[in-house]
């Protein structure tokens, strides 16, 4: 097998290659870090930026003052940037979000003096949401809070903004991501702390960060998300491993950790209520606390577990379950299901913390 390295602008170089000759293209995506490569005409500064009014969701933790940021959820269009697609249609949607949808929502929320998502979630955790892959109750409750103020706005496309908003029962996901980040920022870099503070994947590797080990990532092969597929002809070979940054919701104690609050999602992906309860019970054994403000009525009003402790994971050999959507190798969503937190990341993190505590790093 021969290998050849191509260097240059990815968009330009890919156009010189025959169709269907490339299986994977790896570039340096800017995400929300807004990397400045210092090159005229660069693609390093993406359409959504934290400095563009209304282009994304920013939350402030009222206790610590930390900020969390996420782009706006793109809705249910089958081809979106978050599922690996980029074409003229996707770009038009992003530009409309930047120029119309984002500013309209931003002005509305500022007119509301912000939204208390903790209060919102305390109302809806007992309505079947696990808040990562299933959040229709919270999304619709939030939309109901927003619309009266949006109706009073002077947005030139107010009615279209409302239409885009009300059909998206996953709207709350990216709101929660920003909120979770704002809270978790306050527990990072605590000396000797063994608490999980970041978790995500790129389809090839999964990575974790822990409070007491700084910004270092501990990685392992990305687990497959198994459950339900959108096409009965697809198999595990048609999917890439765990991918995305929405797993910050799992770090914050929702998704797979709060499975019992959203048993319908577990049922959708092949389990039953007892399996949903097992996932949450296992998570409680390796977490340091519960979200008492988000109580689950059918689980004796207990809260969702929060604060995965790598010591407890390794000591008990209990690995939490996370929920997520699976990605097709050709782009787009392949299905939905669950995966297990990789043990090796916890082991690496604890070894690193041991070296730090001993003064060897």
pLDDT band at 31 (very low <50, low <70, confident <90, very high): very low
Please state, for a pLDDT cut of 70, what percent of the chain lies above it.
85
Whole-angstrom CA distances from 202 to 60, 83, 220, 241 are 27, 12, 11, 8
CA-wise closest residue to 117 among 142, 150, 148, 134: 142
**Residues 150 and 104 sit within 8 Å (Cβ to Cβ):** yes
pTM of the predicted model as reported, rounded to 2 decimal places: 0.83
Tokens encoding 171: 């709207």
Q: What is the CATH number of domain 48-171?
A: 3.90.1710.10
What is the distance between the alpha carbons of residues 91 and 228, in angstroms, rounded to a whole number? 30
What is the distance between the alpha carbons of residues 259 and 304, in angstroms, rounded to a whole number? 9
Tell me the HSE value of 300 on the side-chain side, using a 13 A CA sphere: 3
Whole-angstrom CA distances from 115 to 18, 130, 169, 178, 179 are 50, 20, 17, 12, 10
Q: Is 283 a residue whose pLDDT tops 80?
A: yes
Tokens encoding 139: 């999304």
The class that CATH gives domain 188-357 is alpha beta
Ranges assigned E (strand) in 222-317: 226-229, 243-244, 287-296, 302-308
Hey, where are the domains in the chain? 48-171, 188-357
Tell me the HSE value of 63 on the side-chain side, using a 13 A CA sphere: 8
What is the distance between the alpha carbons of residues 326 and 225, in angstroms, rounded to a whole number? 6
Rounded to 5°, the CA angle 172-177-183 comes to: 125
pLDDT tens profile 171-218 = 999 999 989 999 999 999 999 999 999 999 988 999 999 999 999 999
Q: Residue 281, class by beta-carbon neighbours within 10 Å (0-12 exposed, 13-18 middle, 19+ buried)?
A: middle
Task: Say yes or no: do domains 48-171 and 188-357 share a fold.
Answer: no
Ranges assigned E (strand) in 83-204: 196-202
Return the C-alpha torsion angle 111, 116, 120, 125, nearest 10.
150
pLDDT tens profile 288-305 = 999 999 999 999 999 999
Give CA 260 to chain center in angstroms. Answer: 20
Rounded to 5°, the CA angle 309-311-316 comes to: 100
pLDDT tens profile 73-130 = 888 777 888 787 888 888 888 889 989 999 999 899 989 988 888 899 999 999 999 9
- Averaged pLDDT of the chain: 86
**Residues 56 and 50 sit within 8 Å (Cβ to Cβ):** yes
Ranges assigned E (strand) in 195-343: 196-202, 205-210, 218-221, 226-229, 243-244, 287-296, 302-308, 321-327, 333-340
What is the distance between the alpha carbons of residues 193 and 207, in angstroms, rounded to a whole number? 18
């Amino acid at each position: 097998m021969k290998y050849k390295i191509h260097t240059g602008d990815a968009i330009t170089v890919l156009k010189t290659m025959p169709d269907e000759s490339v299986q994977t293209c790896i570039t340096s995506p800017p995400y929300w870090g807004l990397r400045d490569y210092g090159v005229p005409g660069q693609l390093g500064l993406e359409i959504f930026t934290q400095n563009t009014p209304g282009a994304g969701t920013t939350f402030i933790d009222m206790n610590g003052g930390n900020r969390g940021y996420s782009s706006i959820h793109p809705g249910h269009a089958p081809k979106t940037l978050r599922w690996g697609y980029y074409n003229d249609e996707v770009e038009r949607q992003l530009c409309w979000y930047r120029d119309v949808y984002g500013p309209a929502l931003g002005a509305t929320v500022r007119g509301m003096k912000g939204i208390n998502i903790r209060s919102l979630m305390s109302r809806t955790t007992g309505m079947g949401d696990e808040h990562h892959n299933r959040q229709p109750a919270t999304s619709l409750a939030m939309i109901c809070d927003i619309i009266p103020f949006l109706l009073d706005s002077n947005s030139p496309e107010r009615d279209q903004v409302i239409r885009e908003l009300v059909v998206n029962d996953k709207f709350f996901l990216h709101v929660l991501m920003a909120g979770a980040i704002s809270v978790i920022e306050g527990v990072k870099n605590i000396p000797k702390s063994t608490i999980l503070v970041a978790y995500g994947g790129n389809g090839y590797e999964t990575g974790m960060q822990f409070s007491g080990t700084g910004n270092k990532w501990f990685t392992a092969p990305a687990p497959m998300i198994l459950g339900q597929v959108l096409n009965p002809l697809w198999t595990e070979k048609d999917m890439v491993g765990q991918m995305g940054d929405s797993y910050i919701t799992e770090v914050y104690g929702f998704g797979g950790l709060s499975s019992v609050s959203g048993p319908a999602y577990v049922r959708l992906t092949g389990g039953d209520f007892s399996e949903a309860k097992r996932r949450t019970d296992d998570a409680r054994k390796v977490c340091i606390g519960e979200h008492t403000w988000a109580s689950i009525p059918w689980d004796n009003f207990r809260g969702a577990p929060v604060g995965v402790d790598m010591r407890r994971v390794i000591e008990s050999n209990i690995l939490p379950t996370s929920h997520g959507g699976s990605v097709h190798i050709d782009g787009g969503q392949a299905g939905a299901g669950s995966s297990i937190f990789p043990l090796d990341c916890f082991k690496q993190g604890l070894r690193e913390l041991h070296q730090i505590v001993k003064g060897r790093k």
